[in-house]
Amino acid sequence: MSGATNDNILRLDPRPSLRLGVNIDHVATIRNARGGDYPDPVKAAHIAAKAGADGITAHLREDRRHITDRDVERLGQEIDLPLNFEMAATEEMLAIALKAAPHAACIVPEKREERTTEGGLDAAGQHNHLAHFVRALKDNGSRVSLFIEPSTAQIEAALSLGAPVVELHTGAYAEACNEGNADEAASILEDLRAAAAFGTREGLEIHAGHGLTFDSVTPIAAIGEICELNIGHFLVSEAIFIGFHEAITKMRALMVAARSGSGRGA
């Protein structure tokens, strides 16, 4: 949809070691609170591109609480960066993804009653249900990832489903950091490190995301096997105080510092 090919990903991303996908969902959350046209998530995607994002991430939820079908269409028409389309494994979302043909499709669990994507996909338990979605999206040319908890069983399930990418859910780690629970954060970080190492050894591309902030991103960005972080809610929140461009620039700088070994806790 974005016209992104492997060639232009390489052209757009001079730092392939750790990409930043900016999630613009919550720009749409604020717009939808009043039902008008602003703030426009597509305008936010343009700003993200100028600020150095490597991709745009958007989740079209079943209840359309933030991103709408029209936003997805406009992202495809107006934004040159690769689009990472987050979607539930439903026939409705599959039809939209097949038509939009985004660069990447990330399959996430979705429950109407949840506030955000709480917990990873049960790739192991839902193998038979997911196989059809993974195959159809891959055949349509999208890079498929599964949003999973950092566990060996889930990585093995992703492998058996033929998904080339997994995105490790960092939500529990980020929450432990926010609550000042250092032991819990350290323990989940170990699971994330182990999962990233195991997945890489088995040939998967490893992404991570959910709940990351300026304070929690560094140890995650320092995990050398991770090649993409998807971050949204905090960047949109921080935009209120320092602007969206500045928030993205600062997050990117923290990621680069962590990867070069000069970040805190790296």
Catalytic residue IDs:
59, 86, 210
- Cα–Cα distances in Å, from 257 out to 4, 234, 254, 265? 28, 19, 5, 11
Could you give the CA distance from residue 180 to residue 65 in angstroms, rounded to a whole number?
A: 30
CA-to-CA distance for 118 and 206, rounded, in angstroms?
Answer: 19
Q: Give residues with Cβ within 8 angstroms of 139, minimum separation 6.
A: none
Question: 17 near 227, Cβ under 8 Å?
Answer: yes
* Cα gap 199→81, rounded to integer Å: 26
Helices (H), 106-232: 127-139, 152-161, 171-178, 182-201, 217-221
Taking the least distance from each CB to ligand PXP, the nearer of 23 and 142 is: 23
The DSSP bridge partners found for residue 118 are: none
Q: Which residues bind ligand PXP (CB under 6 A)?
A: 23, 25, 59, 86, 106, 108, 116-117, 147, 167, 209-212, 230-234
Contacting residues for 245 by C-beta, under 8 A, at least 6 apart: 47, 50, 51
Number of other residues whose CB lies within 10 A of the CB of residue 107: 29
Interatomic CA distance for residues 31 and 233, integer angstroms: 14
Q: Which is nearer to ligand PXP, 25 or 238 (CB)?
A: 25
Query: What is the rounded distance in angstroms from the CA atom of residue 141 to the CA atom of residue 245?
Result: 31
Q: How far is Cα 25 from Cα 28, in angstroms, rounded to an integer?
A: 5
Which tokens hold the place of 161? Answer: 């489903």
User: What DSSP character marks residue 5?
Assistant: -
